[in-house]
Amino acid sequence: MNLLFVADPLESFKIYKDTTFAMMREAQRRGHTIAACEPHDLVWRSGGQVEARVREITLTGTEDEWFAERRSAVHALAGFDAIVMRKDPPFDSEYFYATHLLQQAEREGARVFNKPAALRDHPEKLAIMEFPQFTSPTLVTRSEQAVRDFHAQHRDIILKPLDGMGGMGIFRVKDDGLNLGAIIETLNAGGATTLMVQRFVPEISEGDKRVLVIGGKPVPFCLARIPQGGEVRGNLAAGGKGVAQPLSSRDREIAEALGPVLAARGLLLVGLDVIGECLTEINVTSPTCFQEITQQTGFDVAAMFVDTLEAAVAAS
């Protein structure tokens, strides 16, 4: 297959842990060709097709200069066998516009994973609203008073912005309510911005588990991201320690309930965040943790992904 990855700049990859790199490496190992571009490279002109100036690359197998660029050229997206959308959040206006360009490319015959419309329909914090049977008590609001009432009821809460990633902007407020007003002001900008509030789940001490679902089926191991040094956040970007472990019965229950539903909507790869018994987020833009799970367990997550991608292209 001829694959195009829409991603962040290649020069920014930390290949020792990067999931997109793991996908590319496995794809090249199987003989597929690799190209990459960034969302700002996407172009559409009336009377033509969605195009992009792409970098055709070969992975070198070395760490310092991990890819060699064979050439840079403009290609219609419909000419690739598959397009893998791997741009990291934030899901801002430019990301939104990129999904529309990719959806137009789909109309022209391109195969895009994850499906652009599904990316728009499943904002990573809010997508859990569809599955309340698996979540802890949660509030989505702009109202300061609603947040205060939620805190009065649950006493120990987590507040977070809807557009954050990597643990950015997450606050815990305990029973004493210390700094609750200042935190609300910071997150909701005087009522202008919607935020999410959840009851604190104490099992965070055992890790914020990333459960990967590929083609509707759970990867048998998750990565528990365990907070370090007094942090409440387990995110690896916030200093959490990643420990791979087999799925618990609850992890598997959640993954098997959501997996087929989300896969049917065009979400080939999903990352479920589970703390204790509770689903906290559904990540669809660029779920990670492939390499950490593979390195610690021997289960080849990238191989499972490329197997599933190949099958999806063959079936389309």
Which residue in 160, 199, 208, 209 is the catalytic one? 160
Which H helix or E strand runs over 272? strand 269-275
106 in catalytic set: no
Report the distance separating Cα 244 and Cα 299, nearest Å: 10
231 in catalytic set: no
Which residue in 26, 208, 273, 292 is the catalytic one? 273
Please work out, in degrees rounded to the nearest 5, the angle formed at the alpha carbon of residue 260 by the alpha carbons of 258 and 266. Answer: 105
Which residue in 51, 251, 281, 292 is the catalytic one? 281
Which residue in 86, 111, 115, 233 is the catalytic one? 233
Report the distance separating Cα 54 and Cα 10, nearest Å: 12
210 in catalytic set: yes
Which residue in 25, 87, 111, 210 is the catalytic one? 210
Measuring CA to CA, which residue among 228, 234, 224 is closest to residue 297?
A: 224
65 in catalytic set: no
Which residue in 18, 51, 225, 292 is the catalytic one? 225
8 in catalytic set: no
Which H helix or E strand runs over 279? strand 278-283
Which residue in 125, 188, 208, 209 is the catalytic one? 125
DSSP state of 169: T
160 in catalytic set: yes
Measuring CA to CA, which residue among 161, 142, 20 is closest to residue 91?
A: 161
125 in catalytic set: yes
DSSP reduced 3-state for 44: coil
Measuring CA to CA, which residue among 164, 264, 281, 119 is closest to residue 211?
A: 281
265 in catalytic set: no
294-314 burial, b for 16+ CB within 10 Å, e for fewer?
beebeebbbebbbebbbebee
**Catalytically annotated residues:** 125, 160, 210, 225, 233, 273, 281, 283
